[in-house]
Amino acid sequence: MGTDGEGAGRWDEGGGSAPHPTPREGSRLAIGVVSAGRVGAVLGAALANAGHTVVAASAVSRASRARAEELLPGAEILPPDEVVRRADLAILAVPDDVLPGLVRGLAASECLRPGQIVVHTCGAAGVGVLAPAAEHAVLPIALHPAMTVTGRVEDVARLSGACVGVTGPEGPGEDADAAWLVGEALVVEMGAEPVRIPEAMRPLYHAALAHGANHLVTLVREAADILSGAGIEPAERVLAPLLSAALDNALRHGDRALTGPVVRGDAGTVATHLRHLDERAPDAAPLYRALARRTAERARAGGLVDPAAADDVVAALERPRP
């Protein structure tokens, strides 16, 4: 769920406003992508499909150059400051930790100009990180696609089913309003659905996505490993119908989708699970305990389990490991 641009390098800190280009029918922006990692290349390709022109991209590694060639044909490969200098819309799609230094370096390199649109794609950051660039009267916007991005051409089509978190400057003023509207317009042009994320809520927004997507993968692989360790194969085939239905039901019905021994208050079954996990899959047992406890808390709060039965489950979970 983070941005993983490649080959952007690290920038060292260095030493009148104009109308902002606005995406609209008949309007075409010159786009620069820093860098051609998975997210940057896909967003650049999506905007090219909408009729804009990707004029330049930064790409150092072999993988990023191949990605630029496939997804951003015709884009000239240049250093980051030259990419931004040529762009009406600069997309900064670099790793989170690289972004602040990159922005400071761009601001010090005299490649920014009033009227440019500068977008970054880091999930946890709002537009505050773009403050050094905003001093040059650019329009700062944060866009983050709420999807897993592989950097392949099919991701461009998958954007049409995704939401994109949009954040612009807060407070009164035409530029602040314009940033939100331009950000939303860019998302719509890419075929996705814009969702406004306030600056202060960006870390929680990103934490929720990472918690759901990344930890879901961990949970699924843990379950598959337990089955494989028990000699039950193919584990993925056994799990697929169950987990697909569980995810669909959770998204549709919330906590009412909970099933299994915890929500039924079957403390004996939970204790049996733990006894065998502790013996045969000890690395997975702590995760089972933590998630079962949280499941019991949610089930109790939602009135889905008798409180006394929930207490019995929690007691089973808290018994010391042998």
- Kindly state the average pLDDT of the residues 116-123: 98
* Closest C-alpha to 117, from 11, 66, 60, 43: 43
SS3 state at 206: helix
Confidence of residue 20 (pLDDT cuts 50, 70, 90): very low
Average pLDDT value for the chain: 92
Residues 193 and 162: beta-carbon distance below 8 Å: yes
* Helix 62-71 / helix 38-49 crossing angle, nearest 10 deg: 10
71 pLDDT more than 60: yes
Q: Of 174 and 40, which is predicted with more confidence? A: 40
Q: Kindly tell me if the per-residue pLDDT of 3 is higher than 90.
A: no
**Which token pair is 103?**
């922005």
| Residue 18 clears pLDDT 50, i.e. is over it | no
Q: How far apart are CA 117 and CA 97, in angstroms?
A: 21
Tokens of 79: 């250093």
pLDDT of residue 173: 77
Rounded average pLDDT over 41-62: 97
Of 111, 90, 85, which is closest to residue 44 (Cα–Cα)?
90
By three-state DSSP, how is residue 1 classified? coil
State whether CATH 3.40.50.720 applies to domain 30-197: yes
Least confident of 23-37, 40-54, 276-290: 23-37
Calculated CA dihedral for residues 19, 25, 30, 31, nearest 10 degrees: 100
All CATH 1.10.1040 domain ranges of the chain, comma separated, are 205-318
User: 205-318 sits in which CATH class?
Assistant: mainly alpha
Pick 23 or 119 by higher pLDDT: 119
Q: Does the pLDDT value for residue 179 go beyond 50? A: yes
Tokens 């977008």: give the residue: 119
For the chain, where do the domains classified as CATH 3.40.50.720 start and end? 30-197
- Per-residue b/e over 102-123, b at no fewer than 16 CB within 10 Å? bbbbbbbbebbeeebbbbbbbb
The predicted model scores a pTM of 0.88
Res 210: pLDDT: 96
Residue scoring higher pLDDT (309 or 19): 309
- What CA–CA distance (Å, rounded) separates 216 from 210? 9
pLDDT band at 322 (very low <50, low <70, confident <90, very high): low
Whose tokens are 């998958």? That residue is: 158
pLDDT of residue 321: 76
- The answer to whether 199 touches 130, Cβ cutoff 8 Å, is no
Tens of pLDDT, residue by residue over 230-269, are 999 999 999 999 999 999 999 999 999 999 999 999 999 9
Q: What is the pLDDT of residues 74-116, one digit of tens each?
A: 999 999 999 999 999 999 999 999 999 999 999 999 999 999 9
Strand order in the sheet with 139-145: 76-77, 53-58, 30-34, 89-92, 117-120, 139-145, 163-167, 193-196
C-alpha 23/C-alpha 205 separation (Å) is: 26
pLDDT score recorded for residue 6: 45
In this prediction, residues 164-186 reach a mean pLDDT of: 93
Among 184, 142, 145, CA closest to 45: 145
- pLDDT at residue 171 in the model: 83
- Outline where 50-169 has alpha helix (H): 62-71, 80-85, 99-108, 131-134, 154-158
Summarised one tens digit per residue, pLDDT across range 281-308 is 999 999 999 999 999 999 999 999 999 9
The one-letter amino acid code at 112 reads L
Asked if pLDDT for residue 8 goes beyond 80, the answer is no
